[in-house]
Amino acid sequence: MPFKLPAKVVHLWRWLEGIHTIEWLYSLAPSVAVGAVGLFTGVQLYWILLGIPLMAAALLFLGEKIFGKIGFMPLSEAARVAFEELPDTIWRVAATRWEDTPEGRLDWVATRLSLDIPIYGRVPPSQRLELIPKQEIRSGSISEGATSLQHWGDAVPSYVDLAIKRRDLRPLIDAMQESEPTKRKE
């Protein structure tokens, strides 16, 4: 006659294990079955009591670094996308005529984008993105291929790793496309 585990142990085991059954334990000797239940229950309790809090602590610690930047895109990438998608608008023509270098064109388009959407950046040596006040943007210049904001007369950038929220870009590009188109003379 095979050994039957007490109903409370079976229910506890099924609760810890989910929907898996433990019929294979019925065929084991009683002392081995009890020892196996104790071992597996102990391992699962270890993961429940220690694993979950450790994972939660890791997410809290790393969350800002990993998840804090989800939903953002670099301002340089946003400026490139806007430049590519606005071929026959005054914005692209102006950027092309006024700026000689690719970085300068990105700076020009990024400056235009900054008029209508919030810009985020980090203050070195911080790793945290923060919203840059509009007044800070107006009193400085977006430079280095739309990656930094430098105030007039400062030797080092005030903000680096400039970024925007991805959801803000598409509506602005659509609005810029509706602006008066120009015909390029080539």
> Each residue of 136-180: pLDDT tens digit?
999 999 999 999 999 888 888 899 999 999 999 999 888 888 765
Whether 185 maps to a domain, the answer reads no
Regarding whether 168 and 140 lie in a shared domain, the answer is yes
- pLDDT for the residue 91: 80
Residues 84 and 169 in one domain: yes
Q: Is the same domain home to 18 and 103?
A: no
Same domain assignment for residues 116 and 167: yes
Residue 34 confidence (pLDDT) above 50 = yes
pLDDT in tens, 62-85: 555 554 567 899 999 999 999 898
In a domain, 169, yes or no: yes
Show the domain range for 98.
72-177
Domain boundary among 16, 32, 66: 66
Query: 75-85 vs 102-114: helix axis angle to the nearest 10?
Result: 100
Residue 184 falls within a domain, yes or no?
no
- The dihedrals phi and psi of 155, each to the nearest 5 degrees, come to -80, -25
How many C-alpha atoms does 9 have within 13 Å on its Cβ side? 18
Tally the domains of the chain: 2
Based on its alpha-carbon atoms, the radius of gyration of the chain, rounded to whole angstroms, reads: 30
One domain, residues 101 and 146:
yes
Same domain, 81 and 167: yes
Where does a domain end: 43, 66, 89?
Answer: 66
Burial class for 155, CB neighbours closer than 10 Å (0-12, 13-18, 19+): exposed
Alpha-carbon distances, residue 28 vs 8, 25, 135, 142 (angstroms) = 18, 5, 75, 72
Residue 133 has pLDDT above 90, yes or no: yes
| Cβ proximity of 36 and 28 under 8 Å | yes
169, 86: one domain: yes
- Do 108 and 94 reside in the same domain of the chain? yes
User: pLDDT at position 183, please?
Assistant: 46
Token pair 């904001």 is at which residue?
A: 149
**Is residue 1 included in any domain, yes or no?**
no
